[in-house]
Amino acid sequence: MPTNPPASLQAESVISAFQSFPFFKSVNAETQNAILNLATPRHFSAGQVIYLEGEPADYVFILITGWVKATRITKEGREQGLMFLKPVDLFGDIAVFAGTSYPGTTTALEEVETLVLPAPALLKLVASNHDLSTAVIQRLSQRVLGFIDLVEDLSLRNVEVRLACSLLRNVQIVDGQYIVPRRDWTTLDQMAVRLGTVRDVVSRAMKNLEADGLIRVEKNIIFLLDPQKLAQRAEE
């Protein structure tokens, strides 16, 4: 079962969430305080399932630290990634506002801290607050656009192009170098889940990009050697 983090972390987490997440910035201070009063801190360990596909959507989660993934299992038994989320973000919100069960299984990829909002109280707050209801509509619209992009990726782009797009979305510039840090869980298997394919296909795509001089793969970092040409590859 999830456990509460230390009190000092709770305070820092709350401040961080409300200062950095646009969803909260768009509502007034009174509503922010009301959301805070609903929130309960919860900790999840790496690999721990936060909720299962088909479970009642009783909570919305605010991701404070760590990464989570939302997936579904295909009829063939393959894991299909729906979302990979990093802080600060919401999850579980689609099912709560749609009045359905959770559409996918969400799992902590590493140590994760969240704030948990009970669905009935949150829905009541949304119904009585114009700023918050507008923010919810905007947030759900962003989710829809994200799933449209996912459908486009899976149906119209090959794995090599999807990999190039993913690298460009996650690039960081450090000391003049374009890099994509690889977290402990960023294995080929997890990359395959994220890209909607299998491990061997991701491995071949990565080797092709390396052979073309576009990237260099190391254990903890992927270097983008020619971001401009990689962007051209992503547009193919």
Residue 170 has pLDDT above 50, yes or no: yes
Q: How confident is the model over 95-138, as pLDDT tens digits?
A: 999 999 999 999 999 999 898 999 999 999 999 988 888 888 98
The percent of residues above 90 in pLDDT, for the chain, comes to 50
**pLDDT value, residue 2:** 43
Phi-psi category of residue 175: left, alpha or beta, with phi > 0 → left and psi -120 to 50 → alpha = left
**pLDDT value, residue 10:** 56
**Tokens representing 121?**
């109280």
Q: What is the mean pLDDT of residues 55-81?
A: 90
**pLDDT value, residue 101:** 96
**pLDDT value, residue 73:** 84
**pLDDT value, residue 234:** 87
**pLDDT value, residue 67:** 95
Q: Which phi and psi (to 5°) does residue 133 adopt? A: -65, -35
Q: Considering only CA atoms, which of 156, 118, 133 is closest in space to residue 42?
A: 118
Residue 203 has pLDDT above 90, yes or no: yes
**pLDDT value, residue 5:** 45
Domains and CATH numbers, the chain: 7-156 (2.60.120.10), 159-234 (1.10.10.10)
- Tell the residue number behind the tokens 């948990």, with chain if given: 116
pLDDT band at 48 (very low <50, low <70, confident <90, very high): very high
Q: How confident is the model over 12-43, as pLDDT tens digits?
A: 656 666 667 777 777 888 888 888 888 888 99
**pTM, two decimal places:** 0.81
**pLDDT value, residue 116:** 93
Sign of CA dihedral 95, 96, 101, 106: positive
Q: What is the mean pLDDT of residues 214-228?
A: 93
Task: Tell how strand 112-118 and strand 89-91 pair up.
Answer: unpaired
Q: What is the mean pLDDT of residues 143-156?
A: 82
* DSSP secondary structure letters along 25-38: HTS-HHHHHHHHHH
CA separation for the pair 92, 102 (Å, rounded): 7
**pLDDT value, residue 142:** 87
**pLDDT value, residue 18:** 64
- Tell the residue number behind the tokens 């994760």, with chain if given: 112
**pLDDT value, residue 6:** 47
What is the rounded average pLDDT for all residues in the chain?
A: 87
> 92 burial class (0-12, 13-18, 19+ CB within 10 angstroms)?
buried
Kindly list the distances between the CA atom of residue 84 and the CA atoms of 55, 131, 136, 151, in Å, as whole numbers in the listed order.
20, 27, 20, 15
**pLDDT value, residue 224:** 96
Helix (H) or strand (E) holding 98: helix 93-98
**pLDDT value, residue 8:** 47
